[in-house]
Amino acid sequence: MKKLGILLLLIAATNLWSLAQTVSIGSPSGKIILNFTIKNGNPVYTLSYKGKTVIEESNLGFKIKDMPEFGNTFTLENKVTEMGVNQPWTPVWGETKTIENNYNMLQVTLKDNAPQAHTLIIVFKVYEDGLGFRYEFPEQANLQHFIISEELTSFNLTGDHKIWWIPGDFDTNEYAYYTSKISDVEKKTQKRDGNIFTATPIQGSFVQTPLMIKSPEGIYMNIHEAALINYPCMDLKFDVTTYNATATLAPDAVGNKAYLRAPAKTPWRTIVVSDDAREILASKMILNLNEPNKLKDVSYIKPMKYVGIWLEMHLGISTWDYAGSQSASDAGSDGKTVKKTKHGATTESTKKYIDFAAANGFGGVLVEGWNTGWEDWFGKWKEDVFDFVTPYPDFDVKEVNKYAQSKNVGIITHHETSGSVTNYERYMDTAYRQMAALGSHALKSGYVGKIIPRGEYHDGQWMVNHYLRAISKASDHQIMVTAHEPVRPTGLHRTYPNFMAAEAARGQEFNFWSDGNPPEHETILPFTRIMGGPMDYTPGIFKIKKSFYIPGAKEQVHTTLAKQLALYVTLYSPVQMVTDLPENYLAKPDAFQFIKDVAVDWDDTKILLAEPGDFIATARKAKGTRNWFVGGITDEQARTMEIDFSFLDKGQKYTLTIYKDAADASWDNNPEAYAIETIVVTSKTKLKVNLARGGGFAMSIFPKK
Amino acid sequence: MKKLGILLLLIAATNLWSLAQTVSIGSPSGKIILNFTIKNGNPVYTLSYKGKTVIEESNLGFKIKDMPEFGNTFTLENKVTEMGVNQPWTPVWGETKTIENNYNMLQVTLKDNAPQAHTLIIVFKVYEDGLGFRYEFPEQANLQHFIISEELTSFNLTGDHKIWWIPGDFDTNEYAYYTSKISDVEKKTQKRDGNIFTATPIQGSFVQTPLMIKSPEGIYMNIHEAALINYPCMDLKFDVTTYNATATLAPDAVGNKAYLRAPAKTPWRTIVVSDDAREILASKMILNLNEPNKLKDVSYIKPMKYVGIWLEMHLGISTWDYAGSQSASDAGSDGKTVKKTKHGATTESTKKYIDFAAANGFGGVLVEGWNTGWEDWFGKWKEDVFDFVTPYPDFDVKEVNKYAQSKNVGIITHHETSGSVTNYERYMDTAYRQMAALGSHALKSGYVGKIIPRGEYHDGQWMVNHYLRAISKASDHQIMVTAHEPVRPTGLHRTYPNFMAAEAARGQEFNFWSDGNPPEHETILPFTRIMGGPMDYTPGIFKIKKSFYIPGAKEQVHTTLAKQLALYVTLYSPVQMVTDLPENYLAKPDAFQFIKDVAVDWDDTKILLAEPGDFIATARKAKGTRNWFVGGITDEQARTMEIDFSFLDKGQKYTLTIYKDAADASWDNNPEAYAIETIVVTSKTKLKVNLARGGGFAMSIFPKK
């Protein structure tokens, strides 16, 4: 993609000044200022927002393995600035039609005085909504292949702020969120979630990013990273007395962090900052820090709603495996399986789902458990599990794809790796070729289990490279990718728009087998995990309680039905599952109408109301239309939201249908009670909506003809 | 391959008796007897040879991870014997036309009394030339997926015997051999060979197998393993006070040894024993313990001599890389390379080698450095190195293969992985397909460097599985494999006869860049490394001293020229390199004649004289002919050998050409001095031959017409 024009402005002393070894640069308006200094040979920075320091003096730099002389004696060799850069761009899909990309850039070149000197470049980009910075190791004589043993980057917060966080872990992001003061992190993480199979918690005050922060003065910050490529994922270690958070990189099997060869660039370290929580959610800085689209062919990339053979397995109605249970003892020693109970992914059942998708305008049907290997896949750290090409005898993979295409629906092929990635990589070429031959353009991959190569983590450099390799190879075969259990996203869907969504957080599924997701969960996700990219959360559950299927079962979804509808708007993703069983939708056609109507690709987005952990209300304008959809959700507190419709076109009347909690609804006692009303609104309308405890509402707003 | 008839004989008390928990079984003649006992709940065995104990009470069994209750309380549940098994077979290629396979078998089933009991089976096969035993974990309720944390097998020797050994190491077998008493192992290994790039020496009294042993009474033993599949390589740890050697398995990246799922079988542990050193070399027990040929198609498998673009790089005449040096700095940051000096693998040069091979009847031309990546491959633990399909611009891979085929010569494609096996496995399918399309049926693979997946070793289970995966996949594409730097062989070429040879020891190449291989080296290899399978040693050097090419260079081959000829016979391999530069052969056409004449596949083999570390003389009868070839070699001592030609057909006259050391030859002072004589011999002839220090002789013996 051609770079859009760059507008360079040289701005004077307010935004940039140099004093001894100190350099500063501001955002275009000057409300955010980055100060860079070298102190005793070590690079440090501070950040201020509207005149207030938000990041105190914080370290930059690295320890390089077997190279103790690296750094420590840096001096500023050179600096370059680019001011007023303005590079708007159009995403292949997204929350808005175009994305503004305005920043000022400072690049400092540092040289140490080791006997064989080294050069390190740090690039800072200051936006109106935050700071991104990255390190570059330029080509140089004394640094070729090298190993990062530690990244020194820190984020020195100004106090014991309130944070929304999950524990540091190199293998999973599927924790429920904690809300606490920084000083409480270690204490809180003593009691960890026991429902996650593959977890490698780090002992101590470690948290993951995206980390959401709120200072007592009401300044919100989000710390994360952008463009995580060929580098391990960053967690943060808090010093709970100084509130300084230091980068902690996921190690590899032998304890090294990253293998680099100059020239090399690290991911961007990102700090989104605002005194308005809504601006945090609206920020596109992480996307902007990623490279433009690299894919020449985007013809096959289509945002969609999809149904799937998936929930029924979670409900115990059918099984992934052909033998009808997940026990290894059901697989004969000859590797053949014996059918005992009900296998989910049959040709017949898949066709019914295809019919349902076609009848309701959904683009895809996910099929899990279609391929051999499910009898003995889980939790064994077993290398040779799935081959990704051999269907079970009762699943005619050709017939199913053909039938789907005849109905203008696509099969979403499922590749569960069970974490055995060496095995997956051996088959990837062949499996993607098979998908292309069958006309399946969408892939859901899964990484449930301890990683093979053994000793590697989901979040290490090796796996980070794998996820991108899969995305890139998929694009060669016109395949969209949604990955479950990968490293959490960092905006790479700008560069690889066939990377539709990821799980990489605690999805709806936890409601079916564990203590579940507390009612506040979905009000935190957009401030944390989803800052990096879309999440395949799987909303839309109409039968809230598992006891509907299994008498006495305690598991349930921790929202009202109306809130489930709202999630299609508040949790942004270009692929949204229509998760519940078709029969449950057909039983409530009025509520189902919203899911049929709601869009998945947008020309505009307005964050109307937001407070992490409490509430969110979002309005989005469907791509290529004048239709708007609004979602509002609350945590465990009932509340009233006033929605201001000033985002609508002036002078136009709209038909608004609201799907809301019934007056007596609540997530715990009466979750499926909803009410639907239709009214006419204009841009001048303000509407008060009552949300139940754990509740929400959804609105469709169509121009009145 | 159909099992040959099994002759079962029940033999009485001399060979088999049961007393309490003790069971014994002898070899068919009874000269080797295995005693099995359970002692305090633990299985143990002893071995005797001609009435003398050669293995004192030694442990059997395992520690299973997270299963401390496994074993310890075993009782004998069942025993089965098969007596007088006789299963002769015909190898696809080999040292003899048919191979005898006679043994008595004892299978004991053990059960522990853990609350959830476990079953372990041990199978002993006693041959006239030794003992093989393996463990089997049958399918059982309380043992499904499990991890071997330790194998307890030990070999409790009867004294401080003389042994020929290399230090324990999970990454290399390329050490020069030590000859010492057991008690000197640790002391000797303090000073290790510094010429091996990727070495992971184990601290302590660790040695590798095949381990050659000689007792003071003159009993020779060789300890090794057979059929190493889905299991790590075994080293041995000596207790230097008791002379007990315990199995030490190569660990994986996290310290586990083997991931198994019942039913599972371990490799065979092997003890070849004889009071005649020649019988050790003649033993086929390790091959016999491997499964019969699994390949349906063996049409493409052809033993051969081959030349190659390889030595010239070791001599500094040309380079592997296109840029003309191995420095990363010659690779531009755009990944493109700049040509500076002389690249070896050009189309033009390869054609000359093809012409040379065709003119002299050699079947293959090895080409190293044909594919991109060599500018920056070595020693960096770098994952993305070679793609195995992209030739350098000056190497027309299609043209070269076409030209070779027109001359009835095959290109041996080279795949150096640099140890980055995850990378290789991604390309393996594609690369083998390319080879098949080009008509290249022979592959030389290489594993120089630390393994990726990082933390894995060359000898761990993961890599053991990889080597076999490569061999198996290669067979799908009609490709023969010779692997360099793999785990040392264990007779798998019986089962996969496309697995022609391996390096897996210190090859001739060390003579070109290091202190080299001492003159005794080649007299030890057949007693150690080659017990497991053929070695691609690369004999045939005519220009012994590197100073021929580089004035003042100290490196040299540590043999005479005549001994280089002898190696074609004494070091068995179905693929033998004709290693020196064509010009050096053309300069000595009389000596070169032996290399042109000598066979690589045999109907018969006689070990005439042998003592490890001192001398070997071997006679072999060329496949499908009445021609014999004899090789004799000595260590640093000059000696006279008397060759008895009684192996020749009675009453037939033969023309014998002997290629021997000149009277004044010696490996250090006058290595290239040789003499050639032709005489007539019969089966009654006895001939004394003088071998120079570091010398040898070769004979071709053709029936006189």
pLDDT of B214-259, one tens digit each? 999 999 999 999 999 999 999 999 999 999 999 999 999 999 999 9
| HSE-CB of A415 using CA atoms within 13 angstroms | 32
Amino acid at residue number B387: D
What are the structure tokens assigned to B267, written together?
């490799």
> Rounded mean pLDDT of chain B?
94
Give the DSSP H or E segment for B621.
strand B615-622
Sequence ranges of chain B with CATH classification 3.20.20.70: 304-590
User: Taking CA atoms, what residue in B is nearest to A328?
Assistant: B144
Q: Which of 1.20.1090.10, 2.70.98.10, 3.40.640.10, 3.30.499.10 is the CATH number of A2-288? A: 2.70.98.10
Q: Tell me the pairing of strands A264-265 and A130-137.
A: antiparallel
In 3-state terms, what secondary structure has residue B526?
helix
Residue B304: per-residue pLDDT: 98
Nearest to B163 by CA among B215, B120, B113: B215
Q: In chain B, which residues have their Cβ closer than 8 Å to the Cβ of A425? A: 422, 425-426
Preceding omega of A267 cis (within 30 degrees of 0): no
Contact B238, B245 (CB under 8 A): yes
How far is Cα B687 from Cα B683, in angstroms, rounded to an integer? 11
Condensed to tens digits (0 to 9), the pLDDT of residues A591-606 reads 999 999 999 999 999 9
Preceding omega of B582 cis (within 30 degrees of 0): no
Q: What b/e string do you get for A380-406 counting C-beta neighbours within 10 Å, with b at 16 or more?
A: bbbbebbebeebbeebbbeebbebbee
Give the DSSP H or E segment for A666.
none
Q: A23 burial class (0-12, 13-18, 19+ CB within 10 angstroms)? A: buried
Contacting B with CB below 8 Å, chain A residues are 139, 141, 144-145, 252-254, 256, 259, 261, 263, 328-329, 333, 376, 380-383, 422, 425-426, 428-430, 453-456, 462, 465
CA angle B246, B249, B252 (to 5 degrees): 155
SS (H, E, C) A180-220: EEHHHHHHHHCCCCCCCCCCCECCCCEEECCEEEECCCCCE
How far is Cα B689 from Cα B691, in angstroms, rounded to an integer? 6
How far is Cα A187 from Cα A202, in angstroms, rounded to an integer? 13
Nearest to B37 by CA among B125, B133, B113, B110: B110
pLDDT band at B379 (very low <50, low <70, confident <90, very high): confident
Residue with tokens 């594609």: B430
Looking at the partner chain, which of B252, B425, B454 has a beta carbon nearest the beta carbon of A426? B425
Q: How many beta-carbon pairs under 8 angstroms link A with B?
A: 91
Q: In chain B, which residues have their Cβ closer than 8 Å to the Cβ of A456? A: 253, 453-454
Give the DSSP H or E segment for A296.
none
Q: What is the least distance, in Å, from the CA of A426 to any CA of chain B?
A: 6
Q: What is the least distance, in Å, from the CA of B336 to any CA of chain A?
A: 14
Looking at the partner chain, which of A144, A253, A381 has a beta carbon nearest the beta carbon of B453? A253
For an interface test with A, the pick among B327, B422, B461 (most A C-beta atoms closer than 10 Å) comes out as B422
Amino acid at residue number A169: D
Residue with tokens 């009485």: B12
φ/ψ (deg, to 5) at B640: -110, 130
In 3-state terms, what secondary structure has residue B186?
helix
User: Taking CA atoms, what residue in A is nearest to B381?
Assistant: A259
How far is Cα A546 from Cα A656, in angstroms, rounded to an integer? 32
Residue A333: per-residue pLDDT: 44
Condensed to tens digits (0 to 9), the pLDDT of residues A341-352 reads 689 999 999 999
Residue with tokens 């979750």: A671
Residue with tokens 């989000």: A222
Contact B540, B575 (CB under 8 A): no
Q: In chain A, which residues have their Cβ closer than 8 Å to the Cβ of B252? A: 454-455
Ranges under pLDDT 50 in chain A: 1-19, 328-329, 331-333, 335
Residue B12: per-residue pLDDT: 35
Looking at the partner chain, which of A256, A381, A422 has a beta carbon nearest the beta carbon of B259? A381
Contact B691, B633 (CB under 8 A): yes
Looking at the partner chain, which of A145, A380, A430 has a beta carbon nearest the beta carbon of B380? A145
| Residue of B236 and B328 predicted with greater confidence | B236
Contacting A with CB below 8 Å, chain B residues are 139, 141, 144-145, 252-254, 256, 259, 261, 263, 328-329, 333, 376, 380-383, 422, 425-426, 428-430, 453-456, 462, 465
Condensed to tens digits (0 to 9), the pLDDT of residues B390-440 reads 999 999 999 999 999 999 999 999 999 999 999 999 999 999 999 999 999
Q: In chain A, which residues have their Cβ closer than 8 Å to the Cβ of B329? A: 141, 144
Q: In chain A, which residues have their Cβ closer than 8 Å to the Cβ of B453? A: 253, 422, 453-456, 462
Q: In chain A, which residues have their Cβ closer than 8 Å to the Cβ of B254? A: 253, 454-455
Q: What is the CA radius of gyration of chain B?
A: 25
Q: Cβ contact (<8 Å) for A261 and B328?
A: yes
Q: In chain A, which residues have their Cβ closer than 8 Å to the Cβ of B422? A: 422, 425, 453, 462
Name the pTM for this structure: 0.94
Q: Cβ contact (<8 Å) for A425 and B425?
A: yes
- Residue A583: active-site member: no
How far is Cα A628 from Cα B663, in angstroms, rounded to an integer? 101
Q: Cβ contact (<8 Å) for B454 and A252?
A: yes
Residue B705: per-residue pLDDT: 85
Q: What share of chain A is helix, strand, coil (3-state, %, to 5)?
A: 20, 35, 45
Q: Which of A82, A174, A503, A509 is catalytic?
A: A509
What are the structure tokens assigned to A584, written together?
């449950």
| HSE-CB of B653 using CA atoms within 13 angstroms | 6
Q: Cβ contact (<8 Å) for B455 and A252?
A: yes
Looking at the partner chain, which of A141, A254, A429 has a beta carbon nearest the beta carbon of B455? A254
In 3-state terms, what secondary structure has residue B437?
helix
Residue A387: per-residue pLDDT: 94
Q: Cβ contact (<8 Å) for A422 and B453?
A: yes
Asked whether the CA dihedral B690, B691, B692, B697 is positive or negative, the reply is positive
Q: Which of 3.20.20.70, 3.90.420.10, 3.80.10.10, 3.40.50.720 is the CATH number of A304-590? A: 3.20.20.70
Q: What is the least distance, in Å, from the CA of B327 to any CA of chain A?
A: 11
User: Taking CA atoms, what residue in A is nearest to B421?
Assistant: A422
Condensed to tens digits (0 to 9), the pLDDT of residues B663-692 reads 999 999 999 999 999 999 999 999 999 999
Looking at the partner chain, which of A141, A333, A422 has a beta carbon nearest the beta carbon of B422? A422
Contact A555, A514 (CB under 8 A): yes
B551 conformational bin, left if phi > 0, alpha if psi -120 to 50, beta if neither: beta
pLDDT band at B16 (very low <50, low <70, confident <90, very high): very low
Q: Cβ contact (<8 Å) for B144 and A328?
A: yes
φ/ψ (deg, to 5) at B310: -160, -55
Residue B192: per-residue pLDDT: 57
Q: Cβ contact (<8 Å) for A254 and B380?
A: no
Contacts 24+ apart (CB under 8 A), A547-554: A549/A315, A549/A316, A549/A317, A550/A315, A550/A316
Sequence ranges of chain A with CATH classification 2.70.98.10: 2-288
Q: Cβ contact (<8 Å) for A254 and B253?
A: yes
Residue A17: per-residue pLDDT: 38
How far is Cα B488 from Cα B463, in angstroms, rounded to an integer? 12
- The answer, yes or no, to whether residue B1 has pLDDT greater than 50, is no
How far is Cα B386 from Cα B445, in angstroms, rounded to an integer? 12
Looking at the partner chain, which of A382, A425, A465 has a beta carbon nearest the beta carbon of B145? A382
Q: In chain A, which residues have their Cβ closer than 8 Å to the Cβ of B145? A: 328, 380-382
For an interface test with B, the pick among A147, A148, A149, A422 (most B C-beta atoms closer than 10 Å) comes out as A422
Looking at the partner chain, which of B328, B426, B456 has a beta carbon nearest the beta carbon of A453? B456
Q: Cβ contact (<8 Å) for A383 and B259?
A: yes
Q: What is the least distance, in Å, from the CA of A265 to any CA of chain B?
A: 13
Q: Cβ contact (<8 Å) for B254 and A454?
A: yes
Give the DSSP H or E segment for B254.
none
For an interface test with B, the pick among A376, A454, A472 (most B C-beta atoms closer than 10 Å) comes out as A454
| Residue of B2 and A663 predicted with greater confidence | A663
The packing angle between helices A421-438 and A397-406, to 10°, is 50
How far is Cα A245 from Cα A247, in angstroms, rounded to an integer? 7
Condensed to tens digits (0 to 9), the pLDDT of residues B266-313 reads 999 999 999 999 999 999 999 999 999 999 999 999 999 999 999 999
Q: In chain B, which residues have their Cβ closer than 8 Å to the Cβ of A252? A: 454-455
Q: Cβ contact (<8 Å) for B465 and A383?
A: yes
In 3-state terms, what secondary structure has residue B180?
strand
Q: In chain B, which residues have their Cβ closer than 8 Å to the Cβ of A141? A: 329
Q: Cβ contact (<8 Å) for B253 and A253?
A: yes
Q: B551 burial class (0-12, 13-18, 19+ CB within 10 angstroms)? A: exposed
How far is Cα A654 from Cα A627, in angstroms, rounded to an integer? 9
CA distances from A38 to A18, A46, B515 (A): 12, 12, 51
Torsion of CA B400, B405, B408, B412, to 10 degrees: 60
| Residue of B14 and A536 predicted with greater confidence | A536
User: Taking CA atoms, what residue in A is nearest to B255?
Assistant: A455
Residue B201: per-residue pLDDT: 77
> Measured in whole angstroms, how far is the alpha carbon of residue B537 from the centre of its chain?
10
